[in-house]
Amino acid sequence: MKIYMNGKLVPENKATVSVFDHGLLYGDGVFEGIRSYNGRVFMLDEHVARLYRSAKAIALEIPMSQPEMAAAVVKTCKANQCLNGYIRLVVTRGVGTLGLNPFTCKTPQVIIIAAAIQLYPQELYEKGLKIVTVGTIRNHTESVNPMIKSLNYLNNILAKIEAINAGTVEAIMLNHAGTVAEATGDNIFAVSGKKLFTPPASSGALVGITRNVVMDLARQRGLEVSEPTMTRYDLYTADEVFLTGTAAEIIGVGEIDRRLIGDGKPGPVTRALAETFHKFACESGTPIR
């Protein structure tokens, strides 16, 4: 495997960062997870733009332009023949001192990995996830704003630990007000009749790229889409619930906190949107070849 490191493709055993890199020491950096389908990088420009917004929010100046970054992603995919896979794009603050001061770091590190990924077994897409609400709340928007895809994912990891300890693979995270934010790594949707709901960014949810695509596809199918403040009651009583994310795509939820959602299996809207999304993803994007 070849890893993109600061303008060069190097073997993975030579793709290293310093122990003084603030990305390692403090989680100081940003990232994106991107998918390739059928020889195309899906929503590449949108992912790159979000990376730069995250970087701007933490006062991190990326040492290359957005078009250069997009070209580097395609180059890395070509080098690894990653025609149907996952791309992790990382920018760290770079080497600095052992202190917190980020301005001692002079050269940000740009890393791109293109490889395979399978987040959930296929059977869970067919049967639906069983998930739980956890006690770890989503970061406050004036703490580490969830809109920033930072390298500090400890908030999500703590919630994931709770989910695993409860015998599930995913969890619902609430915010400081007790309303629904998102899952540990995915956005959450509820279907009621011909209406589709998902929490707003103000709830502590990341405005996911896949989330936005699904909302557009749902509108094209005649669904009424909105972003209200949501409680667990709205999820428990929904006809269907599903999660969306770059790696997860669209996966149905059959049970939340031991309450069946619908008949306990992915519903017709979830299945239809998943099929529509996959077709759209395979037919659009930035060509790799």
pLDDT digits (tens, 9 = 90+) for 250-278: 999 999 999 999 999 999 999 999 999 99
Q: Are 189 and 243 in contact (CB under 8 A)?
A: yes
Give mean pLDDT, residues 205-210.
Answer: 95
Q: Residues 6 or more apart from 217 whose CB is under 8 A from it?
A: 273, 276, 277, 280
Quick one: pLDDT at residue 28?
A: 98
Quick one: pLDDT at residue 160?
A: 97
Cα dihedral 45, 51, 54, 60 sign: negative
Under the banding of pLDDT at 50, 70 and 90, the label for residue 49 is very high
DSSP assignment, residue 140?
Answer: P
Quick one: pLDDT at residue 117?
A: 82
Quick one: pLDDT at residue 241?
A: 98
Quick one: pLDDT at residue 151?
A: 97
Could you read off the pLDDT of 50-60 as tens digits, one per residue? 999 999 999 99
Give mean pLDDT, residues 124-136.
Answer: 97
φ, ψ of residue 56 to 5 degrees: the values are -60, -35
| Domains recognised in the chain with CATH numbers | 2-115 (3.30.470.10), 122-283 (3.20.10.10)
3-state helix, strand, coil in the chain (%, to 5): 35, 30, 40
Tell me the pLDDT of the chain averaged across its residues.
97
Under the banding of pLDDT at 50, 70 and 90, the label for residue 113 is very high
Give mean pLDDT, residues 138-157.
Answer: 95
From start to end of the chain, where are the E strands? 2-5, 8-11, 29-37, 40-41, 85-92, 109-115, 129-133, 171-174, 180-183, 187-192, 195-197, 224-226, 240-245, 249-256, 259-260, 286-287
pLDDT at residue 118 greater than cutoff 90 = no
Q: Global pTM? A: 0.95
What is Dmax (Cα atoms) for the chain? Answer: 56
pLDDT at residue 119 greater than cutoff 90 = no
Quick one: pLDDT at residue 79?
A: 97
Q: Residues 6 or more apart from 83 whose CB is under 8 A from it?
A: 36, 38, 39, 77, 288, 289
Give mean pLDDT, residues 108-129.
Answer: 93
d(CA 86, CA 281): 13
Quick one: pLDDT at residue 204?
A: 94
pLDDT at residue 2 greater than cutoff 90 = yes
d(CA 187, CA 197): 11
d(CA 37, CA 31): 20
Of all helices (H) and strands (E), which one includes residue 56? Answer: helix 44-57
Under the banding of pLDDT at 50, 70 and 90, the label for residue 129 is very high
pLDDT at residue 17 greater than cutoff 90 = yes
Q: Is 42 exposed, middle or buried (0-12, 13-18, 19+ CB in 10 A)?
A: buried
> Which among 2, 14, 106, 149 is annotated as catalytic?
149
Quick one: pLDDT at residue 262?
A: 96
Q: Are 87 and 209 in contact (CB under 8 A)?
A: no
Percent of the chain at pLDDT > 70 equals 100
Quick one: pLDDT at residue 289?
A: 78
d(CA 52, CA 242): 29
Q: Is 149 a catalytic residue?
A: yes
